[in-house]
Amino acid sequence: MLVPTSIEEISTTQNGIPIRIAQGLQMSSESETQEEIPSVDASWDYETAFSRNLGLVSPEEQQRLRGTRVAIPGMGGVGGIHLMTLARLGVGKFRIADADEFEMKNFNRQFGATLNTIGCSKTQVLADSARGVNPELELDTMNEFVSADNVDRFLDGVDLLVDSVDFFAFKARRMLFNEARRRGIWAITAGPIGFSTAWLLFDPNGMSFDDYFDLHDAMSPVEMFAAFAMGLAPRATHVPYFDFSYVDASGRGPSVAAACHLASGVVGTEAVKILLGRGRLRAAPAYAQFDAYRGLLRQGRLVMGNRNPLQRLKRHVLKKRMLKLGYGQSASST
């Protein structure tokens, strides 16, 4: 993993803007590690730190959250915010994974992206931030993307999977959700779409991820995109103001911090219900989308998932639209 040795800051420029980049980072021989717990100030106390949660959770429930482990693959657009939201709820154990480093293009939406963290490991920066909230966290980091080679290790002993992989990483997402189902783990996906968030819950004993989205190995990148986009947000409240010409298969698309924070609020709330076994859980084929820009909440049940005839038509229309814009003509799904 990337750990700071003697940190030295140097000045450089990017697009004419002066920046400082932390230097002197070394790669350890291990790709996964439980970060060394820093010394805890004698004044820090778990019960005091999270006392304002009480009244929304009971003292007993707060201690149950302290003992749960959440897996978050991806520390980018929503992953870092999910980690911090759940850490502030008092969740005591995490496993996080990401191979990327922060870049200037992350500044508009990603927690941890600043001039001082350009070139720094996302997992390291976010682990440090989370420990700044709770220095007693049991936090395992993997400075690599989740793959078939490490998914068993990533999900081992996990109570909840919170999807934070890149929108376009369809193969990795399928693998994670299918493995979580096999292990009996609930999973949440909440996407920032326009100025909205759309979310789905997957019960390991309910409708599967592949069945809901109607995904198959032989699908092309644009077919995967259309299936995931229309399945995640069947009512597509964002379409009237969303410019699809800015979407491409390389992983570029419009995304703002406001929507990432909406998604994180949903994830934190649904996580509390799942981990504490309380409240109403509406698992797939149920869906929901809240659009703050248009002041709309749309929710329902997608009978047959994406195999629904109306959904098939929507997918076909979106596929044609994206092909016309040049999506996927020289890209492959990831």
The answer to whether position 80 is within a domain reads yes
CB 159 within 8 A of CB 273: no
Query: Residue 25 has what pLDDT?
Result: 34
Within a domain: 326: no
pLDDT at 334 (0 to 100): 40
Amino acid (1-letter code) at residue 157: G
Q: How far apart are CA 174 and CA 225, in angstroms?
A: 13
Nearest to 139 by CA among 86, 188, 187, 180: 86
pTM of the model: 0.86
DSSP β-bridge partners for residue 193: 196
In a domain, 170, yes or no: yes
Number of folded domains that form the chain: 1
Is position 46 within any domain?
no
CATH number at residue 161: 3.40.50.720
Q: Report which of 228, 232, 240 is spatially closest to residue 327, judged by C-alpha positions.
A: 228
Count the neighbouring beta carbons within 10 Å of the beta carbon of residue 128.
17
Q: How far is CA 81 from CA 7, 85, 113, in A?
A: 26, 6, 11
Element (H, E) at 321: helix 309-324
Q: Are 122 and 101 in contact (CB under 8 A)?
A: yes
At 306, give phi and psi (nearest 5°): -70, -5
What is the C-alpha to C-alpha distance for residues 289 and 274, in angstroms, rounded to an integer? 19
Domain encompassing residue 261: 57-206+255-303
Considering the domain boundaries, does residue 226 fall inside one?
Answer: no
With beta carbons less than 8 A apart as the criterion, state whether 211 and 308 touch.
Answer: no
Q: Residue 313's CB: how many other CB atoms inside 10 A?
A: 11
Q: Which amino acid is at 277?
A: G
Element (H, E) at 22: strand 17-27
pLDDT at 247: 86
Residue 238 resides in a domain: no
Q: How far apart are CA 83 and CA 64, in angstroms?
A: 17
C-alpha span between 240 and 221 (Å, rounded): 24
Q: Is residue 187 part of a domain?
A: yes
What does the pLDDT profile of the chain (334 residues) look like in tens digits?
333 433 334 344 444 444 443 333 333 334 455 545 555 666 899 999 999 999 999 999 999 999 999 999 999 989 999 999 999 999 999 999 999 999 999 999 999 999 999 999 999 999 999 999 999 999 999 999 999 999 999 999 999 999 999 998 999 999 999 999 999 999 999 999 999 999 999 999 999 999 999 999 999 999 999 999 999 999 999 999 999 889 876 668 899 999 999 999 999 999 999 999 999 999 999 999 999 999 999 999 999 999 999 999 999 999 999 998 887 654 444 4
Residue 297 located in a structural domain: yes
CA distance 13 to 1: 26
Whether residue 185 contacts residue 159, with contact meaning beta carbons closer than 8 Å, is answered with yes
